[in-house]
Chains A and B, each alone.
Chain A
Amino acid sequence: MVSYLIKRLLQAIVVMFAVTVISFTLVRMAPGSPALLMLPLDVATQEQIEALEEKMGLNKPIPEQFWIYLTGLFKGDFGMSTVYQQPVLPIIISRMPNTVRLAIGTVLLAVILAVPLGIFAGAHRGKVAELVCMVFALLGQSMSSMWLGILLIYLFAVHLGWLPALGTGGIEYMILPVLTMGYPMAASLTRVARSGMVDTLSEDYITAIYAKGIRKFEVYTKYALRNALIPVSTMIGLTLGLNLGGAVVVEAVFSWSGIGQLINQSVNSRDYAMVQAMLLISAFLITIITFVVDLINSFIDPRLTLN
């Protein structure tokens, strides 16, 4: 168990290092000097560019630049925003709670919908109930979030006038974005829960429990559920990451002021330090989430630690 955890931790560190290399190279792959990217478009003079290159250490050899970048990250220096003229990290952190709020709502909605549906479908293989659940899931995976979001706005905000269409705020503002992100996530979780249930029910120990004469309902809830949910918790971790990507679109649709919207604004205002930091931070977050999920799974099912 301990050696498994150490191994996973090392893997996570390797991944974080690799992501750092990618985000470092990405800005240097851009046409022109990285200093040019950090300055407002077309108005910078040659002296300003050179001064910034000097300040950013761009005249030093590449490995040394990377070292400066890497050590900067440890000190919490993720770069300077050209738009806000401030370090990017505090700005990103200040936007974080709004995105986290949506993410929590989304995961809650998805789990509440998907787990019962998926388990039910898996327990009723080949019946109409399964077909209905699968069509619900396929439909959810086929809706692009921007279209679903705009449809919901049209229905609930424009047509019925029940909910506000745009903006950041309390519960009434959260409902539509959460529905928009929650339905596709519920769709993929339903599929995972269903196949988890199907796989678990075909295992020998379930047959053995049946042979003991235990009621079907109890077999499902008491014995099969726990193992069927392992792929679900893995999937929740994975989709949390996808959500960060999805948040970019959904926050743009609903003008929700979270980090997704911040990425959009940074792209539009060519604030590359912000984009770079965002890439890095979202990857770090996902690596941590995946690590925690693996940790939880290894407690649910210790067999997973046996390579």
Chain B
Amino acid sequence: MDKKILFGRMRRSYFFMIGITGILIIFALCYLLPVLIEWDPVATSIVNRFIPPEYFQDGLRGHVFGTDHLGRDVLIRLLIGGQYSFRLAFVVVVLQMSIGTVMGIVSGYAGGWVDVLIMRICDTMLSIPGLVLAIAVMAILGASTLNLILVMTISGWVQLCKVTRNNVRVVKQQEFVFASKGLGANTWRTMFIEIFPNVTTNILILGSQRIGMTIIMESSLSYLNLGIQAPAPSWGNMISTGRQFLVTQPWLILAPGFFLMLSVLSFNFLGDGLRDVLDTKRRV
């Protein structure tokens, strides 16, 4: 696709522009702002417990969003927690996309018993609720970052695989595939060099939506103390702490919850925007 047309479409899609702007702002906050804040995300200070939000009275030197029950600055924990969430979500979604795409292409292209096998694996994964599987695995194997990545990857690649497979089944009937085979392309070349570029649209759209879902799942696991482990900050465990002090110190849940919602919302907007931008057939 021509770059000029692509950028033009991006500019015209409100959803895409809102999404990408939101993501850039949140990224800038999470990765640049901590440099300017002198508080430590994990060091506790009992004298400074439960300081209510001071907003920008003192600039960044005060506790902008207050402090928690251990006297830690909420803002810096929020930003560092965001970094963890994004890093995890990206690793997980890239893994999901890789597995989903490869399995989907193989399943759709090969057909026959390979297809049946992969589809039954997908059905099996779909029949186990992702969060229940994640809880069981994290509880039995122990909560660690590696296990977290593992469970979130295995519970999320299925949708990508199914969509890719259905796409491939359509694409492989097209003439250029026969032409390339006629020119002597082997199976691997046909699958990954000829067919793959034609199925990337849906993978990208689904991938950007999966980032939002993965962030929510990670925060849910962290809320249940099965995800990112304290004292490392994460939005989930900050909300879980804030829950205990809801009546007297509501700021403890408001800030992380709001950040969580805004980031997921941005990625969902981006996903819908990408559909407008990339999916030419659906345009009015």
Interface residues of A (CB under 8 A from B): 11, 14-16, 18-19, 22, 26-27, 29-31, 37, 125-126, 134, 138-139, 141-147, 150-151, 153-154, 158, 238, 241-242, 244-246, 248-249, 252-253, 263-264, 267, 270, 272, 275-276, 278-279, 282-283, 286-287, 290
Contact = CB atoms under 8 A, between A and B. Distances in A.
Given A15-B120, A144-B264, A245-B130, A252 B246 contact: no
Contacts of A248: 131-132, 135, 224
Q: Is the interface of B mostly helix, strand, loop or mixed?
A: helix
B215 to A, nearest CB: 8
Given A150-B239, A249-B220, 5 more contacts: A141-B212, A142-B212, A144-B219, A249-B131, A286-B129
B261 A142 contact: yes
A241 B129 contact: yes
10 contacts: A18-B121, A26-B140, A144-B219, A147-B257, A154-B253, A158-B247, A241-B127, A267-B226, A279-B136, A290-B127
A22 B120 CA distance: 13
A26 B136 contact: yes
Contact of A245 (B124, B132, B141, B246): B132
Nearest to A285: B127
Given A150-B239, A275-B140, A245 B260 contact: no
Contact of A153 (B135, B223, B246, B272): B246
B177 interface: no
Interface string B230-251: 0000001001101100110010
Contact of B265 (A19, A139, A267, A287): A139
A146 B235 CA distance: 11
B128 interface: yes
Contacts of B142: 31
A265 to B, nearest CB: 11
A112 to B, nearest CB: 23
B223 A146 contact: yes
B216 interface: yes
Nearest to B258: A147
A82 to B, nearest CB: 13
Contacts of A27: 140
A22 B124 contact: yes
Nearest to B215: A144
Contacts, number: 139
Contacts of A278: 132, 136
Interface in B205-229: 212, 216, 219-220, 223-224, 226
Nearest to A278: B132
Given A15-B124, A125-B284, A142-B265, A37 B132 contact: no
B184 to A, nearest CB: 33
B124 A19 contact: yes
B114 interface: no
A272 B265 contact: no
Contacts of A245: 129-132
A279 B133 contact: yes
Contacts of B130: 242, 245
Contacts of B224: 248-249, 252, 264, 267
A287 B128 CA distance: 9
A153 B139 CA distance: 28
A29 B220 CA distance: 24
Q: Which of A151, A158, A242 has the most CB of B within 10 A?
A: A151
A276 B132 CA distance: 10
A19 B127 contact: yes
B123 interface: yes
B109 interface: no
A196 B128 CA distance: 26
Nearest to B243: A150
B89 to A, nearest CB: 13
B132 A154 contact: no
Given A146-B239, A147-B260, A147-B261, A30 B140 contact: yes
Contact of B253 (A141, A150, A238, A249): A150
Contacts of B226: 267
Nearest to B139: A267
A150 B257 contact: yes
Contacts of A276: 136
A150 B124 CA distance: 33
B131 A246 contact: yes
B269 interface: yes
Contacts of A141: 212, 264, 268
Given A22-B124, A144-B220, A249-B224, A37 B129 contact: no
Contacts of B219: 144, 146
A155 to B, nearest CB: 10
A29 B246 CA distance: 39
Given A15-B124, A147-B261, A26 B137 contact: yes
B127 A29 contact: no
A282 B124 CA distance: 12
Contacts of A286: 126-129
B246 A144 contact: no
